[in-house]
Structure 1
Amino acid sequence: MDNAICLNSNTYHGYSLEEAVFGAQAAGIRFMEIAAVRGHTEHARSDMNDDEIAALLGLLAENEITLLGMCGHSNIVTEEGRAQFRENLALASKLGVSYVVTGTGETHDDDHVIEDDTELVEIFRGLAADAAEHGLTVAIETHGNNYGTGASIKSLIGKVGAENLRINYDTGNVIFYGDARPEEDLVDCASSVVALHLKDKAGLPKEWNFPAIGDGNIDFERIFRTLIAAGCMAPLSIEIEFTPDGPGSVEAVHDALARSAQKTRALQASVSA
């Protein structure tokens, strides 16, 4: 199994990009999905000037880390959110990534109910066209009040009909938001997955508890075998969101990431044997 192991920099929410780079280096990770989520984790920002972008790319290059994707979530059901997402597409193009992740509502506390997806289909059709002009893929994350499962997003992208609209599959979110098991849900949508947030889940389904990989209750060996069967080469973007109390220190984040990377490599070796 040769899927790239990647750091989702949201793992370092509350800490700097420099600290995320240090943690990736220490864990032997050479790829990153950078967070550019306004008001949450802003390791990149759509208002960065050319010098700031050059400095960011220089930091990554000096540490031999390649950007694969960008988390650019915004509330695309609003005009303001769509404008933000278009700004993030322009940023992503400058950063040289291949895909940009978004949800369908508020990044947090999404309580809007979408009963008729007709308008959303048209919204994504337009955003996918905007992304295509930048040579980018839009990846809809399993996230929020309406699209918490891969099955629901697969149905949505089928209605949109854009080749550059795919799934960002977050394994922990499928439990928390979708009330489903990712080991089962992934089977029928793995071929539509362009990126995967490798996130473990502990505690009750609606409990915010996303520990290091291997410390929760998700069967990642089964997840990996499903990816292999589907021929899915999506990067495995490790995301650790801890509990509401947070990690406590950046050293704790470094430790959780290192253990997660080690566990992920062991799982890859196991399913490849």
Structure 2
Amino acid sequence: MANAIEVFTNCYHRFGLIAALEGITRLGINRIEISVDTFPGILDFPKSMDQLDRWDPGQVDRLKGLLSRYGLTAESGFIFVENTDKELFALDKLKFDAAAQLGLKVVDLSVTWNKPLEEAYKIFPSVLEYCSQYDFQLALELHPPLYDNAEVFWRVANDFPGFPLKANFDTANVYYYNQDPDGPAELEQVIPRLVHMHLKDSLCLYHDFTFPALGEGKVPFDKMFEVLRKNNYQGPASLEVEGEDAEQQSFEGKHRVMERSIAFLRAQKFLV
């Protein structure tokens, strides 16, 4: 099984978008997952309601032109909705508009951060209603409170049966947010709704922020890839390496980690 791999721009987040695009190009990869957020001077989303009238949708075309110059294609993106006040949702709507304007096919979604599920539910119905006008698939990111694990994912999906919610499985987050989970089994349980993946390595420890190059941690990729093969998963998979160890503090160090990750995927015959 070989898949066309994306690289998540967040891998290079500390170095800025231009550095990320240059790094991804150097990797020989031409597909990206883009964080639909502010990139100063390129894409500047309003931060408050009094700035709404300053928003220029033409900035999205500027971003598209930039990606084109680097020979990169974005079909997947990530959006974080932190606010739960419906009065402020107009700010987040712009990001979903931008995702559609970019032509994204999958939007990975995270709502609030480390808050109770009922807090996320204050805004989540508004998100679903707004996104129903667009063609992209909305995939829950493996982040609490909407998708801590498969059980929570299906609870949320069943709470909103009228919207075709999808899953974005993260090979490392399943261990970060759960104590001693069976990672491959967690993947198997969301296969019916799986439309996107984050490929990330870790030490498979609860709340341990150690994310090395793929193949240098303890994530059982062989077993996870077997689940994908068995179920004939053909959807996109995005390389995400967000470690902050000493090697990854510099751009060149981060890039070496990315190169080793790509080499691992090729060796596993997971990358075209």
Which of 155-164 and 171-180 deviates more?
Answer: 155-164
Cα pair 1:6 1:30 within 8 Å, conserved: yes
Determine which structure has more spread, i.e. the larger CA radius of gyration: 2
Closer/same/farther in 2, CA of residues 20 and 96 from structure 1, 3 Å limit:
same
Aligned counterparts, 1:136-175, within 5 A: 136-145=136-145, 147-175=147-175
**5+ long unaligned stretches in structure 2:** 47-54
User: Partner letter of residue 133 of structure 1?
Assistant: Q
The equivalent position to 1:100 in structure 2, one of 104, 107, 111, is: 107
For residues 42 and 183 of structure 2, the distance between their equivalents in structure 1, rounded to whole angstroms, comes to 28
Aligned to 1:74: 81
Aligned to 1:130: 130
Cα pair 2:168 2:197 within 8 Å, conserved: yes
**Segments ≥4 residues shifted beyond 6 Å:** 40-43
Aligned counterparts, 1:200-211, within 5 A: 200-202=201-203, 204-211=205-212
Cα pair 1:14 1:41 within 8 Å, conserved: no
Aligned counterparts, 1:36-115, within 5 A: 36-37=36-37, 44-47=43-46, 49-75=56-82, 77-79=84-86, 82-106=89-113, 110=114, 112-114=115-117
Closer/same/farther in 2, CA of residues 130 and 143 from structure 1, 3 Å limit:
same
Number of equivalenced pairs: 263
What per-residue deviation string (whole Å, max 9, x for no partner) do you get for residues 96-147 of structure 1? Answer: 11122222322xxx2x223x59x82x85444233213121221111113563
Q: Tell me how far 1:152 sits from its aligned partner.
A: 1.6
Query: The residue matched to 1:247 in structure 2 has which SS?
Result: helix
- TM-score, normalised with respect to structure 2: 0.84
Q: Tell me how far 1:215 sits from its aligned partner.
A: 1.2
Cα pair 1:4 1:236 within 8 Å, conserved: yes
- TM-score, normalised with respect to structure 1: 0.84
User: Partner letter of residue 98 of structure 1?
Assistant: K
Which of 41-50 and 67-76 deviates more?
Answer: 41-50
Q: Tell me how far 1:167 sits from its aligned partner.
A: 0.9
Closer/same/farther in 2, CA of residues 98 and 144 from structure 1, 3 Å limit:
same
Cα pair 1:224 1:268 within 8 Å, conserved: no
For residues 32 and 59 of structure 2, the distance between their equivalents in structure 1, rounded to whole angstroms, comes to 18
Aligned to 1:214: 215
User: Partner letter of residue 253 of structure 1?
Assistant: K
Q: Tell me how far 1:201 sits from its aligned partner.
A: 0.8
Query: The residue matched to 2:248 in structure 1 has which SS?
Result: coil
User: Partner letter of residue 170 of structure 2?
Assistant: D
For residues 78 and 260 of structure 1, the distance between their equivalents in structure 2, rounded to whole angstroms, comes to 40
**5+ long unaligned stretches in structure 1:** none
**Percent same amino acid at aligned positions?**
24
Quote the RMSD (CA, aligned, Å). 2.9
Q: Tell me how far 1:240 sits from its aligned partner.
A: 0.8
